A and B are shown apart, each in its own frame.
Chain A
Amino acid sequence: MVIEKILYPTKFREFSLNCLEELLVLKKVGLKEIILCYIIPREEIGFVPFGGFLKEEEEKQREKALLNFENWQRILSERDIKSKIVIKVGNPVVEIIRIAEEEKANLIVVGRKKRTRLSLGSNTLEIIKKSSIPILVYKYAVQFKWQEEILTKVNRDIFNHPLLALDWAESSLRALEFLKNLKSIIEKLSLCYVIDENKIKTWKKEEIKNYEEKLLEKFNSLKNELAPQLGEIRYFLGLGKPAEEILNIARQINATSLIVGKSNKSEIEKIFLGSTSQEIVLTSELPVLVII
């Protein structure tokens, strides 16, 4: 699937323009238009208890958003990328999904400011849950702790070296197809698979070894199959807690972004067992592309 149209909802937080600028590289792979979208949460201006609707506040927010977007539009038109402004009042998640469907966008890009394990009330996770198109969760500058050090990661050139976390499910295989369209902007591609330590707890050494061999075989044949289309591909096998280990691999190889398939787990399973893709979206310091 070629990314021709991106929906870029924003809250005008710090670095939101930087994120947008980082997306412009996608022009090389077919990007034609970016829909700039600002949703004024209805709760901020509507249903004033026993009052009504803060019309003036709505107008103020619209005006402010419009001014910002007009500046952004100038940057986009300089790069010969079309743009459209959508400003609406409503539930951000519902409206973003609705606009993506109406505009037939190929990718939704959402900014996220922090790394946190708390998923409660996260609009990003809700969008991922409800979207039928890929979502790029972009964190431009994030602090994270690694090997006892607090580091700040500024994410630029995010498509240079993506790491695709495979679980052999359909969505992660679809991710490979998606990446083929990005070939001309990817310098190198890495693949990884993490064996869940809980899964093999009771296995014998022999069984584990056989399993590893099978996985390596799978990786090899995939590499051979994809090499003509995607160029240099490296693969990594890990063992541990999947989300944690995927992040470790990404740090070790200096990946610039992570690509994951959307979890197939039901909502109830996610609540009790968690979902690797969800945990990566929440805790990664790298931008995460979630393929549906």
Chain B
Amino acid sequence: MTLFLETTPPLYSTIPFIGILLSIAFFPLLAPKFWHKNFGKISLFWALLTAIFLIFYYKFLGIYLILYVIFTEYLSFIILLGSLYVVAGGILLKANLVGTPLINTLFLLLGTFLASFMGTTGASMLIIRPFLRVNSFRKERTFMVVFFIFLISNIGGSLTPLGDPPLFLGFLKGVPFFWTLNLFFPMCLVVSLLLIFYFFLDLYFYKKESPFKSKVTQVKLEGKPNFLFLIAIILTILLTGLINLGEIPLGKMPLSLQALLRDFLLLLIGFMSYFLTPNKIREENEFSWFPIKEVAIIFLGIFITMIPCQKILQAGEKGPLAFAILHLNNPMYYFWFTGILSAFLDNAPTYLVFLNLALGKFYPSLPEKEAILLLIQNYPKYLLGISMGAVFFGALTYIGNAPNFMVRSIAEELGTPMPSFLGYLIKFSIPILVPIFILVGIIFLK
């Protein structure tokens, strides 16, 4: 159940949403120091603009709308991200290996697989430091981190709602837990092509650098109980998605009891992991709350500013974006539009925008959950296009997905030079990823 609005908000009410997304896109490029200090205030500014509009336009209903989004979507989203982050931060991978092309390819494959179960952020944080350590003797490391971002920070998160934030948002909206397995074959194709390409590229540089050869092969994993916490997170999401405990009203807000139970259990798992994992492990992992705090602050702004946008799109052909909805009538369009916007804005809100666009197009007056089930039943390629676009294209730029910037930051701190925003795009992501995405689109969405 969602709050019902009698009138659709006007188009200008989406200005704060566009503003916050453009802030995310441009401030880190143009004024990184200013942005680093003030991103919270900037997010809050756009969120406040939306809040003021909603309260003026819808009076008390506007307040309820904001609280409803915070309680039913934002908090669940952050609690899941936070618990995955804490659990992943409690696992320490010590790899005393030599970064040969084969070892590196296996590293990337392992991380890609893990990303679907511990989230792209969790897997990236777990693996980036050991990955860079085993390659510290290699001269050319930039391409390694770029492929790491492609595979582990983005595409690897395709298989479950835990993998990537957009898929979890879809799950919160009503996409069944196992539906994301539909991305298995597209993901396999993209991952295989990337890994093959990576292997030969790494081989080329390895031979060129002709580094010393050693046979040290030790891999040590500490904080293993956190794998149990990880399983507990997966089971919590899965089981609370299968049961229906009803709703409790909080004022005009209907709160789903199984969602509350899920959030409570996720918090509990996060707390248990935090307090039961020896501090030493987190210290060696350089665990810090800071990145997740940043994501929490920015996403609060995104969730609030997104409210009018979602309502406009849900109104379908009766709303002010009728022209766009009428013309977007092919899953391929959804794939490319979701993808390109995901690359330059954050992929989570972009996913929601296009999901709402599709729902507005086919089922404008139906409740969200019901409409999503019908969309899956009757037009599954649309959802597939949106999901692939959001997850895959997040790798196209540094700003496409939150873990990209965390990986970049750690790599630069540890002495691996990373390309600029444009360098990443022109030298790596466009020539490597775009041809693969064209192929995937043709094979799976035509």
Interface check B412, CB cutoff 8 A: yes
Question: Which B residues are in CB contact (< 8 Å) with A46?
Answer: 290, 409-410, 413
Query: Quick one: CB contact mask for A9-51 with B, threshold 8 Å, 1 for yes?
Result: 0000000000000000000000000000000001100111111
Contact (Cβ within 8 A) A91 B36: no
Q: Which of A52-60, A65-73, A175-183, A249-257 contacts B (4 or more CB under 8 A)?
A: A52-60
Contact (Cβ within 8 A) A49 B288: no
Distance in angstroms from B413 CB to nearest chain A CB is: 5
Contact (Cβ within 8 A) B413 A51: no
Taking A49-B35, A50-B28, A52-B418 as contacts, is the C-beta distance between A42 and B290 under 8 angstroms?
yes
How many Å lie between the Cα of A48 and that of B35 in the bound state? 8
Taking A47-B291, A50-B405, A52-B408 as contacts, is the C-beta distance between A57 and B28 under 8 angstroms?
no
Contact (Cβ within 8 A) A51 B290: no
How many Å lie between the Cα of A38 and that of B170 in the bound state? 46
Interface check B325, CB cutoff 8 A: no
Interface check B298, CB cutoff 8 A: yes
Q: Which of B291, B295, B346, B405 has the most CB of A within 10 A?
A: B405
Partner of A51, one of B32, B283, B286, B295: B32
Contact (Cβ within 8 A) B413 A53: yes
Query: Quick one: CB contact mask for B368-409 with A, threshold 8 Å, 1 for yes?
Result: 000000000000000000000000000000110010111011
Interface check B115, CB cutoff 8 A: no
Question: Which A residues are in CB contact (< 8 Å) with B28?
Answer: 48-52
Contact (Cβ within 8 A) A48 B283: no
Partner of A50, one of B399, B412, B418: B399
Interface check A94, CB cutoff 8 A: yes
Using CB atoms, name the residue of chain B closest to A98. Answer: B283
Question: Which B residues are in CB contact (< 8 Å) with A231?
Answer: none
Partner of A52, one of B286, B295, B346, B409: B409
Distance in angstroms from A153 CB to nearest chain B CB is: 35
How many Å lie between the Cα of A49 and that of B294 in the bound state? 7
Interface check B359, CB cutoff 8 A: no
Contact (Cβ within 8 A) A51 B412: no
Interface check B24, CB cutoff 8 A: yes
How many Å lie between the Cα of A225 and that of B294 in the bound state? 58
Interface check A90, CB cutoff 8 A: yes
Question: Which B residues are in CB contact (< 8 Å) with A3?
Answer: none
Question: Which A residues are in CB contact (< 8 Å) with B295?
Answer: 49
* Total number of B residues with any Cβ neighbor in A under 8 Å: 32
Interface check B113, CB cutoff 8 A: no
Interface check B33, CB cutoff 8 A: yes
Interface check A99, CB cutoff 8 A: no
How many Å lie between the Cα of A55 and that of B414 in the bound state? 11
Question: Which A residues are in CB contact (< 8 Å) with B402?
Answer: 50
Partner of A43, one of B33, B279, B290, B404: B290
Question: Which B residues are in CB contact (< 8 Å) with A51?
Answer: 27-29, 32, 35-36, 398, 405, 409
Partner of B24, one of A50, A91, A94: A50
Using CB atoms, name the residue of chain A closest to B397. Answer: A50
Question: Which A residues are in CB contact (< 8 Å) with B291?
Answer: 47
Contact (Cβ within 8 A) A47 B405: yes
How many Å lie between the Cα of A102 and that of B162 in the bound state? 39
Interface check A89, CB cutoff 8 A: yes
Contact (Cβ within 8 A) B294 A54: no
How many Å lie between the Cα of A90 and that of B283 in the bound state? 10
Interface check B354, CB cutoff 8 A: no
Interface positions, chain B 263-307, Cβ under 8 Å from A, are 279, 283, 286, 288, 290-291, 294-295, 298
Interface positions, chain A 68-100, Cβ under 8 Å from B, are 89-91, 94
Distance in angstroms from A129 CB to nearest chain B CB is: 10
Distance in angstroms from B391 CB to nearest chain A CB is: 17
Ordered by A's residue number, 24 sampled pairs between the chains whose C-beta atoms are within 8 Å are: A42-B413, A43-B288, A47-B405, A47-B409, A48-B28, A49-B28, A49-B295, A50-B398, A50-B399, A50-B404, A50-B405, A51-B398, A52-B28, A52-B405, A52-B409, A53-B408, A53-B409, A53-B413, A54-B33, A55-B412, A57-B33, A90-B286, A91-B283, A94-B283
Known: A42-B288, A47-B405. 13 other contacts (CB 8 A): A43-B288, A49-B24, A49-B405, A50-B405, A51-B29, A51-B398, A52-B28, A52-B405, A52-B418, A53-B413, A54-B32, A55-B412, A94-B286
